[in-house]
Structure 1
Amino acid sequence: MTDAPSDRLLPLPDDWRRALAVVAHPDDLEHGCAAAIAAWTDAGREVAYVLATRGEAGIDTLEPARCGPLREREQRAGAAVVGVSVVEFLDHRDGVVEYGTALRRDIAAAIRRHRPELVITLNHRDTWGGTVWNTPDHVAVGRATLDAAGDAGNRWIFPDLVEQGLEPWDGVRWVAVAGSPQPTHAVDATPGLDRAVASLLEHRTYLETLTAQDPETYARDFLTGHARAAGERFGGTPAVAFEVFPR
C-alpha cells in the first residue's frame, strides 16, 4: 500500500549553503535532527548551533554550577561528531526560558551574525502529538525562533543591533521545525544515522539519568525508531522529518 499524496513528506529544499540551528538545551538537536545535519555537513554546507541555555537544570543529582559546564562540553563534543564546530550559548536560564522580546532579540542577533538561508529549531507546539506535553523552554525557543527569522530582516526592530554592527539579514528562506507533530518535509536519515547515534551518545552523563537502558541501546533505538516512523511517509526511506515554514 502506498501513502496518499497528502500524507507524503516532501524532500526538504537543498538549494542552500548556510544553516543555523536554534534550540533550548544541549541534546535537543541530537534527539531531533543530527542525522540530517551530518548529511548536510558532508555535502559541504555550513551549520552552526545556538542554544538558549546550557541545560544546567537537567540533571537532578548535579547542581547547576557543575551541570552547566558539563553539558556544554557534551554538546560541543556531540556537535563535532556531525561536523559542526560553531556552538554558541545565549545563557538564558534552563527551565524558565521566557518567550518575549529579549529572547527574540538574542535569536535575531544570532541570525544576523550567521546569515543563514535555513533556520532549524525544535517543536514549538504544546504537545509532541496527542497527550505528550512539551516543555515550556521548547515552546518558547521554537516560537521565538520563528518570529526572529522575520525580526532579523527588519532594521527598525531591535535597532541597537545595527548600532552593534549587526546589519539586517532578510535571507532566511525557510524555518524547519524538527520533532513537530505536523511534519511536511523530510531528509534521508540513512547516511548520517550512525553519526547521529554517536552524537547523542556524547551526552552520556545526561542519558544515564534519563533512562535505565544502556545508553547506546537507548540512542540507537530512539533515533532508528523515529527515522523508520518518518520513513513510512517518505517512500520507505528512514528519514528526519520537519515542519517547514517558507519565508
Structure 2
Amino acid sequence: MTESNSTQLQPMPTDWQRALAVVAHPDDLEYGCSAAMASWIDEGREIAYVLATRGEAGIDTVAPAECGPLREREQRASAAAVGVSVVEFLDHRDGTIEYGVSLRRDIAAAIRRHRPELVITLNHHTTWDGGVWNTPDHVAVGHATLDAAADAGNRWIFPELTEQGLQPWNGVRWVAVANSKNPTHAVPAEPGLERAVRSLLEHRAYIEALTDEDPETYVRRFLTENTRELSARFGGQPAVVFELFNR
C-alpha cells in the first residue's frame, strides 16, 4: 500500500455557511456526494447547484430535444430529495464542453451570484481511481471550477460581470473535488445515505437506460459500496470523500 493510499482522511472543514456545487451533468452530484449534501443541509448550511449542461446527450434512446427537459426535471427532483432548492443550468452542450474563457466566465459569474465559502466539483483528473478514463466534460468543468474560484475574486479578469452587477467575490476558501482519485478529506456518509439513495433514484429514466437491474437495488448497491470503499482511511466509517484545495 502506498503512502497516499494509507494516509488517513481528514474531516472536511465545518466553519462555513454557503456552498456552491458546479458539475457537468445531471446525476454527477448524486453519484458523487449527495450524502454529504444531505448532512450539510441538516446542519443549516446553504447549498446551490450549478450544472454546465442539461444532460441532453446522456440517454442513447432519447433524442436531445426530449432528453434535456427530462433530465432537468429529474435533477430538480433529485436536488429536492436532499434539501437543495436552487438548481441552475449554464446550457453548455452536453458531451462537447470546452475548457476555456467562456466556461470560466460562466462559473465565475455563478460564484459571484452565490458567494460561497466552499465550492464543490467532480473529479477533474483524466482518470478515475483504478485507471478508468474520465470524460472530457468532467475534466473541463472540474478544471474550470478550480480556476473560476480565483477568477471570481479578480475584478479585472471579467470586468463585464461587474458591469452586470455581479461584484467580485474573493470569499472562496476551499474547492472540494468529489470522487477524486487523490482524496484528502471526508464526510461521514451514513447520516445522509438514505436521502442520497432517494436522490439518485430520481434519475430513473437515466438509470433504466443504463442498467437492467432493479433501479433501487442498483442505486443502493452502488452508493453503499462507494461509501465503504475508503472507510478504512476514515476510522472505519462509510465516507463521502473529497480532494480539498485551500485558497
TM-score, with normalisation over the residues of structure 2? 0.97
Letter in 1 for 2:24: A
Deviation of residue 7 (structure 1)?
1.0
After superposition, the CA RMSD in angstroms is 1.2
Can you give the 5+ residue segments of structure 2 that lack an aligned partner in the other structure?
none
Q: Given the superposition, is the C-alpha separation of residues 56 and 164 from structure 1 closer, same or farther in structure 2, using an over 3 Å criterion? A: same
Deviation of residue 130 (structure 1)?
3.0
Q: Distance in 2 between matches of 1:135 and 1:75?
A: 20
Preserved CA contact (<8 Å) 2:6 2:233 = no
Q: Distance in 1 between matches of 2:211 and 2:6?
A: 36
Q: Which residue number corresponds to residue 192 of structure 2?
A: 192
Deviations 1:107-146 (A, max 9, x none): 0000000000000000000000232000000000000000
1:103 aligns with 2:103: yes
Q: Distance in 2 between matches of 1:76 and 1:197?
A: 15
Q: Given the superposition, is the C-alpha separation of residues 178 and 188 from structure 1 closer, same or farther in structure 2, using an over 3 Å criterion? A: same
SS of 2:243 mapped into structure 1: strand
User: Runs (4+) of structure 1 moved beyond 4 Å?
Assistant: 3-6
**Paired positions, count:** 245
Deviations 1:152-192 (A, max 9, x none): 00000010000000000000000000010000000011100
Deviation of residue 5 (structure 1)?
10
Deviation of residue 193 (structure 1)?
0.2
Q: Distance in 1 between matches of 2:238 and 2:53?
A: 30
1:56 aligns with 2:56: yes
Q: Which residue number corresponds to residue 241 of structure 1?
A: 241
Q: Distance in 2 between matches of 1:89 and 1:239?
A: 28
Deviation of residue 6 (structure 1)?
5.9
Deviations 1:5-44 (A, max 9, x none): 9610000001000000000000000000000000000110
Aligned-pair identity (%): 76
Matches within 5 A, 1:23-172: 23-172=23-172
Letter in 2 for 1:97: I
